[in-house]
Amino acid sequence: MLARSPQRRSPGPLARAFDRFLLNRAAVAGVGIVLPMLLLILSYPLWWAYRPNDIDLLAMNSGPTATHWFGTDGVGRDVFARVLEGGRISLLVAVASTALSAVIGFLFGAVSALAGRWADAVSMRFVDLVMTLPPVIFLLVLASIAGTGIWPTVLVISLLSWPLLARMIRSRLLELRERDFVMAARGMGAGIGHLLFRHGLPNSIDILVVYATLQIANAILLEAGLSFLGLGIAQPAASWGNMLNAARSTAVLEQYPWQWLFPGAALILAVLAINFIGDGLRDAFDPRAELN
């Protein structure tokens, strides 16, 4: 008798999603851009001679040189150090605000779907109210109330960003709550906490991952916009937004382009790369891809 060859196990959904992600060239290119940027941003104090607020009075408004790779600004601060420090602050604000908005959005959406009819009605009417507010005006009002700085900016961006996630989570869990294992858990007396974190959270991971990736890019742009208007990260702290604020001066715009060109390029490159990654993750987790 011929020995029966062992059957190969088919890869799981996460492995298939990872394979689809690797086939997306733009997403892989985004990873190839983001990882070196993260390495530079996190490690530059270990190998770069200048700090973001070190002043070189002999090199004010100096162009790029072997000493100052990206030149200096109007008070002699090293632009390269400030671009990397601005990236550190922008990423801190983006990651922290995304995490906070993800927690708020998940809790609102999950409670709305799993806690009953009255909870659904009240929470969704509140979400509708927030979504009807003009986003630009809402953002400026919140920023003027919260003030400037890293954590007020985190709070402002997170309060603006969570309603869309809440609706996506609610849509996913409305379908989930009708399944047999959730109805069985309800019948056995499971509370809302058990339903949220035992059933709701594991079945929403794909939505949260894609939302977080795309929201980080959006939060970087929001922080840059607020800082550009003087409502986000204030000087002397470095931020891509408040560095671009110097370009409002015609003299800087025309005579010292390195002072705004490098932070602007870093902002565009980071946002594009993160969006590429987010689009790749969205396509990789798309259930319709399983049918192809």
Q: What is the full DSSP assignment across 183-204?
A: HHHHHTT--HHHIIIIIITGGG
- Whether residue 265 lies inside any domain: the answer is yes
Which pLDDT score, from 0 to 100, does residue 85 have? 92
How many domains is the chain partitioned into structurally? 1
- Going from the C-alpha of 131 to that of each of 103, 134, 207, 217, the distances in angstroms are 17, 8, 19, 20
pTM of the model: 0.85
- Whether residue 60 lies inside any domain: the answer is no
In angstroms, rounded to a whole number, what is the distance separating the alpha carbons of residues 272 and 71?
Answer: 25
- Domain range enclosing 253: 75-287
- Whether residue 187 lies inside any domain: the answer is yes
- Whether residue 46 lies inside any domain: the answer is no
- Whether residue 54 lies inside any domain: the answer is no
- Whether residue 237 lies inside any domain: the answer is yes
Per-residue pLDDT of the chain (292 residues; tens, 9 = 90+): 445 545 556 666 677 878 888 888 999 999 999 999 999 999 999 988 889 888 888 888 888 988 889 989 888 899 999 999 999 999 999 999 999 999 999 988 888 888 778 888 888 888 888 888 777 777 778 778 877 788 888 888 888 889 889 999 988 888 877 777 777 767 776 667 777 777 778 888 888 988 999 899 999 998 888 888 888 888 888 888 888 887 777 888 888 888 889 999 999 999 999 999 988 888 888 765 555 5
- Going from the C-alpha of 183 to that of each of 109, 174, 190, the distances in angstroms are 19, 12, 10
CATH of the domain at 257: 1.10.3720.10
- Whether residue 233 lies inside any domain: the answer is yes
What is the DSSP annotation of 122-173?
A: HHHHHHHHHHHS-HHHHHHHHHHHH-SSHHHHHHHHHHHHHHHHHHHHHHHH
- Whether residue 12 lies inside any domain: the answer is no
In angstroms, rounded to a whole number, what is the distance separating the alpha carbons of residues 277 and 288?
Answer: 19
Which pLDDT score, from 0 to 100, does residue 1 have? 45
